[in-house]
Structure 1
Amino acid sequence: MLFSDTYKTIESTADGIFRDKGSKFIAIAYPIITESEVKPIIANLKLEHSKARHFCYAYRLTPDRSMFRINDDGEPSGTAGKPILNCILSADLTNILIVVVRYFGGTLLGVPGLINAYKTASNEAIKAATIIDKTVNDIYEVHFEYLQMNDVVKLIKEENLLVLEQHFDINCNLKIEVRKSYLNQVITKFDKIEKVKLTYLTTI
């Protein structure tokens, strides 16, 4: 399989709602990049929905869509996190977290009822979201001496590279984002400038 350097995610937070027998299922979809974003989001939701019974979720991360987690948060195994994740997989999305907040309505829904509720609420949130295509980009740090500044800046402009951070002194540092499919040509050009060192940081 050829490496694809694009992936689908959501542009911003979106939500959906599903009701069944008095229970209310509020699904909120979040664009995220790292696992460390999940806990604070759940903590905030627990403050906002202090009377809710369950906070079930699933997320999928990385441009190659290889990392995912599910959490049933006290619901019967396989009735919450898995249906949420299946909605993410069906829509072929990554770098996304969907949390479904459940308010219990007093009537048990049974396993099929729960699966349907978590699935429907999650699909509503995905439907409400704006789905966007993003390119797979590598983040690099560029280290160079002040004298190389013009050459480095010229190359960044030529290649339309996004500068995330910059620090100019006798020794200069730039943090740049490079689309993966252009990486070889960009690195080759940097190699031609004397005393420039590139350090790979991460892929987003």
Structure 2
Amino acid sequence: MSSFPDTIAGEVTGELVIKKSRFITHARHVESVDEADAFIAEIRTRFWDARHNCTALIVGQTADAQRSNDDGEPSGTAGIPMLEVLRHRNVTDLCVVVTRYFGGILLGAGGLVRAYSSAVSETLDTATLVHRRLLNTYEIHTFHNESGRIEYFLRDWLAHHEGAWGEPVYTHRVTFSVSIPPEHEAELGAQLAAFTSGAGILDFVGSAVVDMPA
């Protein structure tokens, strides 16, 4: 399976209270570092009265842009632990902000690391995960009188092979569009040929990284 780091859908929030300190987490899907920076600015404006708004982000199809910020917490006790949670979960295009309202009780370096890590981890547990896969797209051309049975075959095959169905095009013929993992091309080609007595052929269109529900 040709795969890339996962991401999440939309935004999720969570809250932990540890020794009277409140840790409020916001995690949002972002498409760029600029979008992540805008999200961070939004949260910091909304929670302007908090002592800390610590951040971590990973952006890029291959998770190439990574940043974190302790925002006044002791160095290495907030941003980096948050970022490590994202790395461990192999996610990208994701920005996390943990807002802390100090409760008057010091947690110590180890306590802060655990608190910020837990805040991010528990919030991401509630997120809708989105898998990213490299898929090849193919067109299959057929006549109208054969289109019903071929559509049924293709839809059923895709449902069992992590494929995606495209919108059919109806002209003097019917053109179906399917996207499948590259390693399944030979299997689909052979089964389609057998199902159509050699008439069905996969016509390669191109490749793209596609978001797939987990």
Report the TM range for the smaller structure's normalisation: 0.5 to 0.7
Moved more, 37-46 or 116-125: 37-46
1:41 and 2:60 are equivalent in the alignment: no
- 2:77 is paired with a residue of what secondary structure? coil
**Structure 2 Cα separation of the partners of residues 13 and 21 of structure 1:** 27
Deviation at 1:47, TM superposition (A): 2.3
**Structure 2 Cα separation of the partners of residues 123 and 57 of structure 1:** 14
**Which residue of 1, 7, 10 maps to 1:9?**
7
1:121 and 2:119 are equivalent in the alignment: yes
Q: Kindly provide the amino acid, as one letter, of the partner of residue 131 in structure 1.
A: L
Q: Deviation digits for residues 67-118 of structure 1, max 9, x if unmatched?
A: 2111111111110011101111121111111110111112221101110110
Q: Which residue of 2 aligns with 1:51?
A: 49
Q: State the identity %.
A: 34
Q: Which residue of 2 aligns with 1:98?
A: 96
Deviation at 1:5, TM superposition (A): 4.0
Tell me, yes or no, if the aligned pair for 1:27 and 1:98 is still in contact at 8 Å: yes
State the superposition RMSD in angstroms: 3.2
Tell me, yes or no, if the aligned pair for 2:2 and 2:181 is still in contact at 8 Å: no
| TM-score scaled by length of structure 2 | 0.62
Q: Which residue of 1 aligns with 2:197?
A: none
**Structure 1 Cα separation of the partners of residues 91 and 132 of structure 2:** 11
Aligned in 2, Cα 1:37/1:180: closer, same or farther, shift over 3 Å? farther
**Structure 2 Cα separation of the partners of residues 120 and 21 of structure 1:** 14
Aligned in 2, Cα 1:159/1:7: closer, same or farther, shift over 3 Å? farther
**Structure 1 Cα separation of the partners of residues 134 and 64 of structure 2:** 14
Once superposed, which parts of structure 1, at least 4 consecutive aligned residues long, lie more than 2 Å away? 3-7, 134-137, 157-161, 179-182
Q: How many matched pairs? A: 157
**Structure 2 Cα separation of the partners of residues 98 and 28 of structure 1:** 6
1:186 and 2:205 are equivalent in the alignment: yes
Q: Which residue of 2 aligns with 1:198?
A: none
- 1:29 is paired with a residue of what secondary structure? strand
The structure that has the greater radius of gyration is 2
Tell me, yes or no, if the aligned pair for 2:54 and 2:70 is still in contact at 8 Å: yes
| TM-score scaled by length of structure 1 | 0.65
1:19 and 2:22 are equivalent in the alignment: no
Unaligned stretches of 5+ residues in structure 2? 136-170, 186-203
**Structure 2 Cα separation of the partners of residues 103 and 128 of structure 1:** 22
Q: Which residue of 2 aligns with 1:86?
A: 84
Q: Which residue of 2 aligns with 1:131?
A: 129
Deviation at 1:30, TM superposition (A): 0.6
Unaligned stretches of 5+ residues in structure 1? 138-153, 162-178, 188-202
**Structure 1 Cα separation of the partners of residues 56 and 45 of structure 2:** 20
Tell me, yes or no, if the aligned pair for 2:40 and 2:55 is still in contact at 8 Å: no
Aligned in 2, Cα 1:64/1:39: closer, same or farther, shift over 3 Å? closer
